[in-house]
């Protein structure tokens, strides 16, 4: 089994290090790591440190730092635009997208989204996505945390997507399957996932700036499962899987 990952604000240097706070509590009191066992410290931005437990205390571990390394950012970068789904499906989508290896998730307030993020409730909802991405990144042993962007309106989304090397808009009426699309070899590849009621005609027209829409297959998936399914296809096509 691979070593568990614990997040730190900055990687420690050589020598000894104390892992305390929430991560230390989780390691010592929840996972109950023992002297001699190894773990990974991550700064969430590609930096990793291999460490061995030397001493266990209540709520903390004393560690020996064995080695440090930095993993490069993935290229192409994989981004998923996720229209806001109802209930807890958003958090489930974020969890799966993070475990699959998506680099950035952009919440989208599509016109047909039933859920609306406004005011403090909207901040709380986005906070849940951020927390879900953080925990899923640890579970998946990722060196880089999946980034959850701020909520985007359609106008903001169009502007943001102009930064991408390629934008793939999923739509059930499209003819070209994702498996046949020629992919950008570098830069950012973004997938746009519509809400339960589908992308509106006006939104679809605006998104055609980036090319004709594509489809996954003959079946229509929920908004919360379409993104993970598409991301899995792309991870295989990028030869990461």
CATH of the domain at 28: 2.40.240.20
The DSSP letter of residue 142 is -
**What would you report as the CA-atom Rg of the chain, rounded to the nearest whole angstrom?**
20
Question: By percentage, how much of the chain surpasses pLDDT 90?
Answer: 89
In the chain, how many domains are there?
A: 2
pLDDT at 14: 86
Q: Are residues 82 and 161 in the same domain?
A: yes
Q: Is residue 206's pLDDT more than 90?
A: yes
Q: Are residues 212 and 108 in the same domain?
A: yes
Q: Are residues 91 and 30 in the same domain?
A: no
pLDDT band at 13 (very low <50, low <70, confident <90, very high): confident
Q: Are residues 123 and 48 in the same domain?
A: no
Task: Report yes or no: 169 and 147 within 8 Å, Cβ to Cβ.
Answer: no
In the listed set 15, 48, 70, which residue is the last one of a domain according to the structure?
A: 70
pLDDT at 213: 95
Q: Are residues 121 and 50 in the same domain?
A: no
CA distance 3 to 42: 12
Q: For all residues of the chain together, what is the average pLDDT? A: 94
Q: Are residues 103 and 48 in the same domain?
A: no
Q: Are residues 116 and 197 in the same domain?
A: yes
The average pLDDT across 46-66 equals 95
* 3-state per-residue secondary structure call for 172-209: CCCCCEHHHCCCCCCCEEEEEECCCCCCCHHHHHHHHH
Q: Are residues 116 and 172 in the same domain?
A: yes
CATH of the domain at 200: 3.40.1280.10
pLDDT at 217: 85
Q: Are residues 195 and 98 in the same domain?
A: yes
Q: Are residues 167 and 229 in the same domain?
A: yes
> How much is the pTM?
0.92
Q: Are residues 172 and 108 in the same domain?
A: yes
pLDDT at 22: 94
In the listed set 35, 70, 105, which residue is the last one of a domain according to the structure?
A: 70
**In whole angstroms, how far apart are CA 122 and each of 109, 150, 153?**
11, 10, 13
**Domain of 53?**
5-70
In the listed set 70, 95, 111, which residue is the last one of a domain according to the structure?
A: 70
Q: Is residue 1's pLDDT more than 90?
A: no
Q: Are residues 28 and 132 in the same domain?
A: no
CA distance 241 to 74: 13
CA distance 113 to 124: 18
């Amino acid at each position: 089994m691979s070593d568990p990952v614990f997040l730190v604000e900055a990687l420690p240097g050589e020598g000894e290090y104390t892992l305390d706070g929430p991560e230390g509590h989780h390691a010592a009191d929840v996972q109950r790591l023992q002297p001699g066992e190894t773990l990974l410290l991550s700064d969430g931005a590609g930096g990793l440190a291999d460490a061995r437990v030397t001493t266990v205390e209540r709520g903390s571990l004393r560690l020996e730092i064995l080695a440090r390394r930095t993993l490069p950012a993935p290229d192409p970068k994989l981004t998923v635009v996720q229209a806001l789904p109802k209930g807890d499906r958003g958090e489930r989508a974020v969890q799966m997208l993070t475990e699959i290896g998506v680099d950035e998730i952009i919440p989208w307030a599509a016109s047909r989204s039933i859920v609306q993020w406004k005011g403090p409730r909207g901040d709380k909802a986005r906070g849940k996505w951020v927390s879900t991405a953080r925990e899923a990144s640890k579970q998946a042993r990722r060196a880089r945390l999946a980034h959850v962007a701020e909520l985007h309106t359609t106008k903001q989304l169009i502007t943001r997507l102009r930064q991408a090397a390629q934008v793939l808009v999923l739509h059930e009426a499209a003819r070209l399957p994702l498996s046949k699309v020629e992919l950008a070899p570098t830069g950012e590849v973004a997938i746009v996932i519509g809400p339960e009621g589908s992308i509106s005609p006006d939104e679809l027209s605006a998104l055609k700036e980036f090319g004709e829409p594509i489809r996954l297959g003959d079946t229509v998936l929920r908004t919360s499962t379409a993104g993970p399914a598409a991301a899995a296809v792309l991870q295989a096509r990028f030869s990461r899987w």
